[in-house]
A and B are shown apart, each in its own frame.
Chain A
Amino acid sequence: MPTVLLLDTSLSMSRPVPSSDSSENHTRLTIASAAINTFLDYLSVHAKLEYVSLVTFSSSYEVSIPFTREYDNIRAKLPLLEEGDKTCIEAALLGVNQLILNEWGYQTPVQIVLVTDGTFGAGPIRRNQIIQALPLPPTFPVRISILPIVTPNDHSLQQAMPLYQKIIDLASNQNCSMGNILRGAIYCPDQLNVPGAITAMSRLCEQQYQEFWCSLKCGQLEARVQLFPAPQPASHEGLSATYTISHQLHVIGFLSQQDLGTPIALSKHLIIPQAQSNNSNNNRENFGSKTPTKEGSSTDGSTDEDNISDPSKVPNFCVLLHGALKVEGMAAVVQLGSDWWGTVSAWCEASRARRSCLLLSVLRPGASAAPWLGALDQLGPIDETATNPETFPVRSWRSYSGGGSGCAWARPHALLADVQKVLRHARKLPDKTQHLYKELNRLRRAAISLGFSELLTCVGSALERECAALGGSAPPECSLQLAHAAAALRDPRTALDIKHTLQPLAPEFTVASMSH
């Protein structure tokens, strides 16, 4: 997840640190810089795709380096930082919130690493005011870790500790659904010098920036992959269980991208194939390079060696899968753990049409995460049930029209529209006889279930009025039908019987004879 390095550059950071070794003059800021360099070193080895931004603050804040993967920019900036005035944490966090919302929106989990000097520049009363003013929790999921550059038994640290703890608690106590991320912590160095700060920072990195490795398995084919960003455990509303992704992702099968649609993904992760290391996965190596062809041709001995040293030349299942998914326009359904599924598809950024990669979409835990695919635990191969297989998408029974239930009369206009529809049909008899009775029955059913008998009486008299208003030129059938319908609506014997349906008057002989 993207990281904001929030570095305190207040004046108190420039306090020199007493040291036995007089050759080195360290201030808290230079120790902090060393710790940040350690942090960047760790990332460039373990998570070089993380975006990192450097924000400095004192009484105001400044985005020194916007989010970047070029960590050297941050390294170069560190010695050039100017010192400010006093520490003002709440203003800085407010600024960081703005920065993150503008850059990442509110759905991306973000880490903030706050490097400060263990003083917040005021007493306990001011501390409570600061706690009140903290802009936490933000609207985006966030994890805040704090590295105070101070000796552990410093008096000011004791003062500041409750504030730090509150910041961490508030940050993890958010109501975002996707915010099931781990908590941050305070990493206090054992002693106030460069190695102490570096150790504390390394501990932070190891705990908060764990890589996620797993193997992607498709039957017997398998590849070791890294998921980036590292997936977070998810929880299911209503169930206390949290779900963690297993370290073996099993492909269940494939389906076309069109059938898949847009799954309701909790998060998406790059699948980055990793070289098969020699000792851990010896069989794979054999499978890839020492194939019969190579065995047969004695001149290929040297390329064999090359292949092992250059992982990009060793065939990898991920690359094959990516190519095939792309060519066929399909996606793979993978099982992430018990009762948890995801999908793998070839994805490419619109702006970089040629740079395409494998993307894992982690669905909501549970079998109903993508309702149009049906229950996910019931996805299976077709040949065993050859008769009349169901197809995607699995349709829901929902209607949205409100017409089916006919009960959406809470707003007067809906009732009005339904009554007008009946009257419109009534005026167009005899052509619309069937329509008239269909609408009448619908109206009647709804009125009975709502206990709205007044309506039926009223519609009955409206039909009688239409009957009276018929001109002399109207066929006699019209008035007969209208009178029949009006009487049937108000018939006390069937008034409350939902199962009774109104029938048109029996067809007249004239009509019947015409049709012969």
Chain B
Amino acid sequence: MTGPTPDGMRGQPPERRRATAWAWPSDGGGRAGGSYAPGLTAAVPAGQGPAMPDLAAGRLYRAVSGVDGEARPMADAERAELHDPLAEVFFRHGRFPMSSRELLAGLDGAGAVPEQSVFLVSESGQLPPPAAPGLHRDIRYAITRAERGRIPDLLISTGANSDPDTTFLQVAAWDAQAGHFNYYMRIRPAWVWTGDSWSALAPASRGHGCFDSHVNGSVVMKELKQPWIHWQSMAATIRLAPDDPLRGDPLYGQVAGAEQLETTVKALVGRWTDARLAKVTAGGTVDRPDHLLRQLFTSTTVNLTSTSVQSATVRADGDDLVLPIGFWLNGDALLDDLGLPVASAPPRVPAALYLGSLSRFGFRMQERTSGFSQPGDTFFAFLVPEAAREDNDVVHRMVLAGIVPAKFAAAALMVDFPNPVYSTDRARLMAYVPTAPTPAAALADSVADAITTAARGLPQDSPEARFAEHWALADDAWPTAFAARVDTYLGRAAARTGTPEGFDDLTRLAESRRRDFRSRKLNEFELTLPVTDIPADAPRLRMNEDATVTTTAPAPVTQGATP
């Protein structure tokens, strides 16, 4: 993959996020070399994004990547369909704020969505400024605006340590009337509507433009859970030089902890999921079952998780590390949502083994764009991708709404459960999911029947046979049966984790999963992940139920693809 260039901007200012990771081939980041495409990157890969002719001031354009070849002014009828706060406060009245300050002041002036919260994020935010004086720190604000006592309707993303007039300014705005988010960005001297939540699901635009990150149409906070790595939170403060001008920014004085944004984002994801499910199952028929069930059988996207331990404070004789649960299995779905009565404790890793792995595998934080390199792991230790909240939320709410039974979801997720992300085995089951409208009441049975029928002619260890075995369990037996397997697995994992060979395997497995993540557009910044000496072309790895780690097939590419 070659990094995107500003070609698609065609003379427009590069008001885009500085996605440094996109500037390099997806080689895992572990080796020197690669062809760097200099300059700021566009939010849309070259050749996929709409062209941006000279935009006229005071106009709202439409430019949906993968759909529109070129930005064009929105027609009056199209604009009339927009009922989010940004459209109603500004665009409907011919107002086009050119900076975040103007935007926030305009909302204040109109008394619209008055409750404001400000958050701060930077992948380089924990690096000591004196140690990296030349590093462009890419600090961003996430600003939410809500009606009093309600969850936010506007989410604003903009550069914090850049010129507010020229840095990127992007908005996700909830349209309560339509029940979806509208996505906008300012391209001076105008604003551009880049699609809505449904654009993320439509084959032509899926995975393109802003939907490379908003993969399923909802808002995104990659590092959603404690310790909210990269975010300012109660777990860590983004480090600024004493004379950093950001300290004087009024918005900086309002920054709240990411723990607050976690609850907000979870609620916003849930709101969109509910609206989406209501629409696609109206009348008792599921329009595109594959669009829903790919969020069960595949990793349409991921979140990032880590231990809560600052890597630099780990001492060989210190406390054991509790690796993130999402590394071992999809605990959010299997344990929290589906309620498997698991009794195990999270496996722990001796600190000395973790420390040894850092030197043995050459862990470092590295940004080739600037030439920065520093030995060691990410600020919080052991960062890995985990199953995405937005995938789990769809599954959870499908179960709650009775679209599929809990056993169906569990039977699917228990296939290859030690690999909570990028599982080729689970992804294979997508072949049995209908793409045509299907009665909701028959959906689970039709998919299960197709899989169990296929399983009869396949080996016992095939994903189909494993699903069929799960599906055959009695309704009152599957929770304890699955929980027993998880407990056995975690017991074995705890034992292997305590050995040097076992932990080296985990380190390689974690890097294998990080490499899969690097190939996704969600990986915007080089400093999101650590770099190791593990070769970029090392075989992909998988965890087995006996807690051994072996090689596996290439990861399924699901983002942007429509089965």
A and B bind:
no
* Interface residues of B, Cβ cutoff 8 Å to A: none
